[in-house]
Amino acid sequence: MSIIKLHDKYFKSYISEEQIQEAINSLVKQVYNDCKEETPIFLGILNGCFMFVADFVRQYNGDCEVSFVKLASYEGTNSTGKIKQLVGVNEDLEGRTVVILEDIIDTGNTLQEIYNIFKDKKLKKLKIATLFFKPDVFKKALHIDYIGISIPDKFIVGYGLDYDGLGRNFADIYQLTSKPTMTNIVLFGPPGAGKGTQATFLKEKYGLVHISTGDVFRDNIKNETELGILARTFMDGGDLVPDDVTIKMLKTEIEKNPDANGFIFDGFPRTESQAKALDQYLLEKGEAISGMVALEVAEDLLVQRILNRGKTSGRPDDQNEAKIRNRFNEYKTKTAVLKEYYQNQNKYFGVNGVGDINEITKRLSDVFDKL
């Protein structure tokens, strides 16, 4: 769940792969029910329909044939209403049942064109199935036999549909949204990598709000709040605090800063479920994570660094090697996977975290400047 950028526009997650497959499943059942006595020709309208047709025919168990026509009617996000190209069907369709498979029907102009093409071909039956349908803008008196998912009149991309050529390869559907206004950065790295130190410089430099979940927990422990008492049992042993508690606390911290330009998240997310919850939460606000910036430092260097810090930090979890090792174990088993999570969204930026503090701030700033 996230916001993506294609060319100059932003799109947010809208319909999941699972929802799409469910809709196709239902379409296949209905079509099969009506066509099982014959061998229908499924006719895809390129380009957008290629994924839909592939998934549809794979699920269709009866005999069938598959063919394609190409009708391009879009320029950018506005339907021009003009059909620019047609690559026709060459088969003899006389007496056959043809089921048109459309990825999306909005104004119905393309559909009208298809009706015009087929009206002289002496078909036995012509049926129309569409994966997506925009009832608010459909202007024709034509009948649509099978509808997958009805959607409002907002531009969508993904699952074969494009915005000026891009976005066809996504498994999910994304909907046009306004430009996010915040810069939200996940400062990432193993325990002791220097996230807290660096965040202190970076929040000033970029005017961002720094949220360190470790610091929030420690404040709660100091003030003996209910949350602090709960968190302490986990923190003292170097274990992660349960996700539901941490996620709830993070949302509260975000909500304390309604006018923020953005956040530096330090120590959050630490599990995949936290990352998903954060994406979903930001998405609801029309915002997203701009990037994960990771301080890369080898574990052996860090254990010594944390033990040294423990001499002055007063943190119980900094003073005992077994607890520190457990924190690394938690990091390796639950947190390190987040590198891949953000890499999959093209949002991972690794920075060498060994060296002089100012030099590392400079390396981080170079990435922050880009974000």
In angstroms, give the least distance from the CB of 175 to ligand AMP: 30
Looking at beta carbons only, is 2 or 274 nearer to ligand AMP?
Answer: 274
Q: Which residues are known to be catalytic?
A: 195, 270, 309, 315, 327
In angstroms, give the least distance from the CB of 234 to ligand AMP: 5
Looking at beta carbons only, is 64 or 338 nearer to ligand AMP?
Answer: 338
Looking at beta carbons only, is 267 or 310 nearer to ligand AMP?
Answer: 267
Looking at beta carbons only, is 17 or 239 nearer to ligand AMP?
Answer: 239
Looking at beta carbons only, is 1 or 230 nearer to ligand AMP?
Answer: 230
Residue closest to ligand AMP, measured at CB: 214
Chain contacts with ligand AMP (rule: CB under 6 A): 191, 213-214, 217, 234-235, 238-241, 246, 267-268, 270, 274, 317, 327
In angstroms, give the least distance from the CB of 252 to ligand AMP: 14
In angstroms, give the least distance from the CB of 247 to ligand AMP: 8
In angstroms, give the least distance from the CB of 107 to ligand AMP: 48
SS (H, E, C) the chain: CCEEEECCEEEEEEECHHHHHHHHHHHHHHHHHHHCCCCCEEEEEECCCHHHHHHHHHHCCCCCEEEEEEECCEECCEECCCCCCEECCCCCCCCCEEEEEEEEECCCHHHHHHHHHHCCCCCCEEEEEEEEECCCCCCCCCCCCEEEEECCCCCEEECCECECCECCCCCCEEEEECCCCCCCEEEECCCCCCHHHHHHHHHHHHCCEEEEHHHHHHHHHHCCCHHHHHHHHHHCCCCCCCHHHHHHHHHHHHHCCCCCCCEEEECCCCCHHHHHHHHHHHHHCCCCCCEEEEEECCHHHHHHHHHHHHHHHCCHHHCCHHHHHHHHHHHHHHHCCHHHHHHCCCCEEEEECCCCHHHHHHHHHHHHHHC
Looking at beta carbons only, is 138 or 341 nearer to ligand AMP?
Answer: 341
| Number of residues that this document lists for the chain | 371
Pick the closest to residue 49 from 106, 130, 126 (CA basis): 130
In angstroms, give the least distance from the CB of 88 to ligand AMP: 58
